[in-house]
């Protein structure tokens, strides 16, 4: 009986997330909307360690070595495409320290997608570059 309840809850929640997904990535504002933050909190639940995306400013990074700054629209387009296949985008998060937030101009977290390795050197270069470009 417990398994049936869990299955029903899973099916209901996946339908809700599917509906919310259509409202995600409609602009490239680095500050997440409420729907986007709720979606990412659920999508990346296992990786959060208590972090909450609510009201957070996000840098999206892609490329094998994390060599390209992506956009929020691109990221959610990947999620939508892979969601149609009932699969997930290879995603990681890197929560920024207060010092890194200052270096980046107020960003809270880096979300990586399709990145094999993001070195500290590359990350620091991105943080400094993102502040300079804003």
Structure confidence by residue, pLDDT tens digits, 23-66: 999 999 999 999 999 999 999 999 999 999 999 999 999 999 89
- Tally of CB atoms within 10 A around 42: 15
Q: Phi/psi of residue 58, each to 5°?
A: -120, 140
Structure confidence by residue, pLDDT tens digits, 83-101: 999 999 999 999 999 999 9
Q: What is the pLDDT of the chain when averaged over all its residues?
A: 87
Q: What pLDDT score does 1 carry?
A: 55
**Helices and strands in the chain: count of H runs, count of E runs:** 5, 4
Q: How far is CA 50 from CA 11, 34, 53, in A?
A: 25, 17, 10
Residue 14 clears pLDDT 90, i.e. is over it: no
Q: Phi/psi of residue 97, each to 5°?
A: -75, 170
Domain boundaries of the chain, sorted by first residue: 2-133
């Amino acid at each position: 009986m417990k398994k049936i309840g869990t299955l029903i809850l899973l099916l209901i929640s996946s339908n809700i997330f599917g509906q919310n997904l259509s409202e995600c990535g409609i602009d490239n504002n680095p500050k997440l909307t409420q729907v986007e933050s709720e979606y990412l909190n659920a999508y990346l639940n296992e990786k959060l360690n208590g972090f909450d995306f609510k009201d957070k400013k996000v840098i999206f990074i892609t490329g094998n070595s994390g060599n390209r700054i992506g956009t929020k629209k691109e990221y959610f387009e990947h999620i939508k495409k892979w969601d149609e296949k009932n699969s997930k985008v290879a995603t990681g998060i890197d929560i920024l320290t207060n010092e890194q937030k200052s270096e980046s101009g107020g960003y809270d977290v880096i979300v990586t997608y399709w990145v094999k390795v993001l070195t500290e050197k590359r990350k620091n270069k991105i943080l400094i570059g993102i502040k300079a470009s804003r």
